[in-house]
Structure 1
Amino acid sequence: MLHAFHRISLLTGALCLSASVALAAAAMPGTPAALTKASAWTTAAGNTVLATPERIKAMNAQMDKATFGDSIQDLGASISGDKLTGYVNSFGMDEDQYIQRAPISHSFASQLVQDAKANIRPTNTVKYGVVVDRVDLRSFPTLQRAFDSASDTQFDNWQETAVDPATPVRVYHTNPQGNFIFVRTPHYRGWVPRNKVAITDAKTWQTYANPASPAVVTGRVLTLQAGTQPQLYQMGTAIPTQGGNLLLPTRNHQGYLQIVPVKAAYGADLHQGYLPYTANNTIEMAFKHLGAPYGWGGMHNSVDCSSFVQDVYKTMGIQLPRNGDEQAQSFPGKSFQGMTHAEKLAYIKTAAPGSLLFTPYHVMMVLGNYNGTPYMIHSLASYGMETSSGVVKNRIMQVVVSKVDLLAGSGTPLVDQMTQCNTWK
């Protein structure tokens, strides 16, 4: 007889694709309107395949090792209490923050920290799970949002990232109230509401962790209907398939996985398998986000700078780490250390389209050159706007096309802050 967490059932459902909605992109200084279309940057040479599936697999393994030391596939059946405590404690509590415009109380902050560590045993069983609804991954077991100021509503310090349905996770730990679980996703660790993850067995989990023939979301977002449950998927999500059906994950009343087979309807927003890794595919996927709202940590069902480039590369099977510093450090790149403004510009003019540019706080994607000026596409919170009274910070909160020497909010050209350029090949 199978254990309870082995129970899997198949249900039937109908497919509902979300309509592609044209987004209005803001005008940027020095960016002609003609450059805000993917066709301005795609070329015949851009159809060249840049890396084979075998090479992509090797790059992914290299990035996993650099970021985590292992793959989610390599995790064992248990974890020591000391190791798990280290993971949980890695999210430091800063009490100088605001919730609902009021300062965080010391008692509330202390209780969250204690809840995160409570119930950790010397040895802890690690379960297999699958995400069933797009969900926020949190620093602590709470959905309360924490901000640096009473007026801020955009940059939640406890928002780590967002996780899409069909994402495999390993479940480390449950908080005392039983409503949050601490998980490892392929790219991150953190807390999610328990009801957003379905428990399954190791064999079925592999269907989602290593899908043989995935359908890949190539729209900015896509809504699928799993029975009565609508599910929002973001670009790059790989959904397992079988016999022409998508295998959509749902959670039954006991908390276990129920798979809903839904007929796959391939088109502009859903592709059979990963896209070939080409410059043109990279650019075309990036431009599907143009005009989308900036979403810190996946807030607003959108992307910040690092999740934007991560989602684009995921459509081609390249699994970048989630955070910008990890993306820069996990793969060899060209260091800009000691280079002047002119030297950086000269190098960027030669960089392959789709290459990533890094500052300590931002990630941008190279598009190419227009009239001798290099341009990039990026999910941008704010930039510096020149006025008669000097440079002022303009909060734009959008995916935009701009020159690489766009002014940062501080008034310094972004290119002067750039530290590295990475090209995956």
Structure 2
Amino acid sequence: MGRIYRLAVIFFFILSGCVSAPDTIRDVRELRQDHAAYLTDISGKADPLPAALQARMDEDYNVIYFSVWHQTRPFHAWEERVRHDFRRYALRPGYGENKKPHPSSWLKKLQRNADLEGYPNAPARGITTRNTNLRDLPTNSPHFTSANGDSSAWPFDNLQRSSVPAGTPVFVCHVSEDKAWALVETSFTYGWMPAEDFARVNEDFAKTWESGRYAVILRDSTSVLDRNGRFLVKASVGHLFPFSAAQNGKIQISVAVADQNRQAVIRQGFVPAEAAAAKPLRFTPANAAKIANEMIGEPYGWGGLYGRRDCSAMTRDFFTVFGIWLPRHSEDQVKEAGAYINLRGLSPEEKERIIMEKGVPYLSLLWRKGHVMLYIGAPQGRALIFHNIWGIRTKDLQGREGRKIIGQAVITGLTPGRELSDMDTAAGSLLDNIAAMNILSADVREAPAP
């Protein structure tokens, strides 16, 4: 009798799911998470991005990057757009860090402090002096959709718009009533930034900084130190600084700091020679794999929170190294650069065929609503992508939505998570939902694929 009881208990636990499922999806377990491993298998042009074309793209990058210093009024941050952000959150006040609903006074207080009646009240050039963030509203407090997270299985802060590296040119549009916040534009987006995170820029500083010679960081979490070895700022892949000199195994760069009057002044910083290069780094498959490997396994960071990257921040920083400009938003990245190829309405098989036929490894983006991916080639006849992904959409038998968390930058095929019994077949399949591809190395835009 005892033996039968023990067997019954064991059988019950097996049925109850005590035999745990794998911690991550099959693609991540079985595909080598090393870009260098695929170099010999990737077919394509010997010179996928001609030097002359890369040089022109780099020149365009610099023009766009510094455009905010050559404007006199808001370019993206129109007053109506700024006011619309407040209206959006009035309709869904959400929850705060204490898991309690935001009271109506929360938004009213932020609106009063924003003081938009005189918008824009402080047009000026500026530069970030530390790694910072742009927020939808002038507050560092979060806005969560629900108290316990939503179907994403994590309480993402809806107010986070984008991270911004130290040394980024900005256009200051407006300053809050308490002077603690400023509505600023960067070359890639706009939002509210803490006033302590930027300094004003005068004409002499701008001319010196906009020198035309820049260094780009090649390693994440690189400490920039002064001549005496004191810490100045932390820099990561894709961060830009004016290039001063290379000597004694170090690269000397210019770093922006604020003086006592919040005016930008230049300090000299140093990084190891292997941690930076003159921008643009020449695009080759080997260099592409090297930079991608700096990001492999990096934890996902919504909107750049926690000093991390989301999908479009990863692709943007990756291409910055090579002097290729991308907007911040995933959809814009695919639609506003290179050759756009429409994949809507095609079968999964047709999509993969076109991707493998037309895609240029490490120079092609794939997009589905809300997510962008870097095509890295088709070794052994299977298309592979590199992307920083939060998770695979799931749905249980009761129709409850969820996520199989990946939460990092990984190499996968086009159907990651296909082995999951609860994958949401309508919304969870990447390949089924891929709507477009972009060939960044193309000079002209192509017609949509048939």
When residues 337 and 247 of structure 1 are mapped into structure 2, their CA distance, relative to the original with a 3 A threshold, is same
The amino acid of 1:397's aligned partner reads G
CA separation in 2, counterparts of 1:420 and 1:345?
Answer: 11
Do the aligned residues in 1 keep the contact of 2:365 with 2:439 (CA within 8 Å)?
A: yes
Which of 21, 32, 36 is equivalent to 1:35? 32
Structure 2 residue aligned with 1:374: 383
Do the aligned residues in 2 keep the contact of 1:141 with 1:191 (CA within 8 Å)?
A: yes
Q: CA deviation at 1:170?
A: 1.1
Q: CA deviation at 1:305?
A: 0.5
Match status 1:255 vs 2:236: no
Do the aligned residues in 1 keep the contact of 2:244 with 2:253 (CA within 8 Å)?
A: yes
CA separation in 2, counterparts of 1:334 and 1:83?
Answer: 30
Do the aligned residues in 1 keep the contact of 2:366 with 2:436 (CA within 8 Å)?
A: yes
Give a deviation string over 1:273-326, Cα, whole Å, max 9, x none: 321133433332122111110000001211000101000000011120001011
Match status 1:398 vs 2:412: no
Structure 1 residue aligned with 2:237: 235
Which of 300, 304, 309 is equivalent to 2:310? 304
CA separation in 1, counterparts of 2:117 and 2:196?
Answer: 19
Match status 1:157 vs 2:168: no
User: How many residue pairs were aligned?
Assistant: 390
Alignment of 1:297-376 (within 5 A): 297-331=303-337, 332-350=339-357, 351-354=359-362, 355-376=364-385
Structure 2 residue aligned with 1:111: 109
CA separation in 2, counterparts of 1:27 and 1:372?
Answer: 24
Structure 2 residue aligned with 1:200: 201
Structure 2 residue aligned with 1:145: 142
When residues 279 and 385 of structure 1 are mapped into structure 2, their CA distance, relative to the original with a 3 A threshold, is farther
The amino acid of 2:68's aligned partner reads I
Structure 1 residue aligned with 2:49: 50
Which of 262, 273, 282 is equivalent to 2:279? 273
Do the aligned residues in 1 keep the contact of 2:257 with 2:266 (CA within 8 Å)?
A: yes
Moved more, 163-172 or 124-133: 124-133
Moved more, 254-263 or 333-342: 254-263
CA separation in 1, counterparts of 2:59 and 2:253?
Answer: 27
When residues 385 and 375 of structure 1 are mapped into structure 2, their CA distance, relative to the original with a 3 A threshold, is farther
Q: CA deviation at 1:232?
A: 1.9
Alignment of 1:49-68 (within 5 A): 50-51=49-50, 52-57=53-58, 60=61
Secondary structure (helix, strand or coil) at the match of 2:49 reads coil
CA separation in 1, counterparts of 2:48 and 2:347?
Answer: 33
- TM-score after normalising by structure 1: 0.83
The amino acid of 1:56's aligned partner reads M
When residues 243 and 40 of structure 1 are mapped into structure 2, their CA distance, relative to the original with a 3 A threshold, is closer
Structure 2 residue aligned with 1:424: 440
Match status 1:72 vs 2:68: yes
- TM-score after normalising by structure 2: 0.78
When residues 305 and 185 of structure 1 are mapped into structure 2, their CA distance, relative to the original with a 3 A threshold, is same
Q: CA deviation at 1:396?
A: 2.1
> Unpaired segments of 5 or more residues in structure 2?
1-22, 247-251, 442-450
CA separation in 1, counterparts of 2:167 and 2:433?
Answer: 37
Do the aligned residues in 1 keep the contact of 2:130 with 2:166 (CA within 8 Å)?
A: yes
Q: CA deviation at 1:154?
A: 4.7
Do the aligned residues in 2 keep the contact of 1:118 with 1:176 (CA within 8 Å)?
A: no
Structure 2 residue aligned with 1:182: 183
Q: CA deviation at 1:173?
A: 0.9
When residues 34 and 238 of structure 1 are mapped into structure 2, their CA distance, relative to the original with a 3 A threshold, is same
When residues 84 and 384 of structure 1 are mapped into structure 2, their CA distance, relative to the original with a 3 A threshold, is closer
Do the aligned residues in 1 keep the contact of 2:225 with 2:270 (CA within 8 Å)?
A: no
Secondary structure (helix, strand or coil) at the match of 2:272 reads coil
Structure with higher Rg: it is: 2
Q: CA deviation at 1:53?
A: 3.8
When residues 59 and 338 of structure 1 are mapped into structure 2, their CA distance, relative to the original with a 3 A threshold, is farther
When residues 27 and 395 of structure 1 are mapped into structure 2, their CA distance, relative to the original with a 3 A threshold, is closer
CA separation in 1, counterparts of 2:62 and 2:345?
Answer: 31
The amino acid of 2:34's aligned partner reads K
Do the aligned residues in 2 keep the contact of 1:137 with 1:162 (CA within 8 Å)?
A: yes
Moved more, 400-409 or 412-421: 400-409
Give a deviation string over 1:251-271, Cα, whole Å, max 9, x none: 12221112111245310x211
- Aligned-residue sequence identity (percent) comes to 22
CA separation in 2, counterparts of 1:129 and 1:61?
Answer: 17
Structure 1 residue aligned with 2:94: 97
CA separation in 1, counterparts of 2:71 and 2:271?
Answer: 31
When residues 392 and 57 of structure 1 are mapped into structure 2, their CA distance, relative to the original with a 3 A threshold, is closer
When residues 365 and 116 of structure 1 are mapped into structure 2, their CA distance, relative to the original with a 3 A threshold, is same
Q: CA deviation at 1:37?
A: 1.1
CA separation in 2, counterparts of 1:339 and 1:124?
Answer: 50
Alpha carbon RMSD of aligned pairs, Å?
3.1
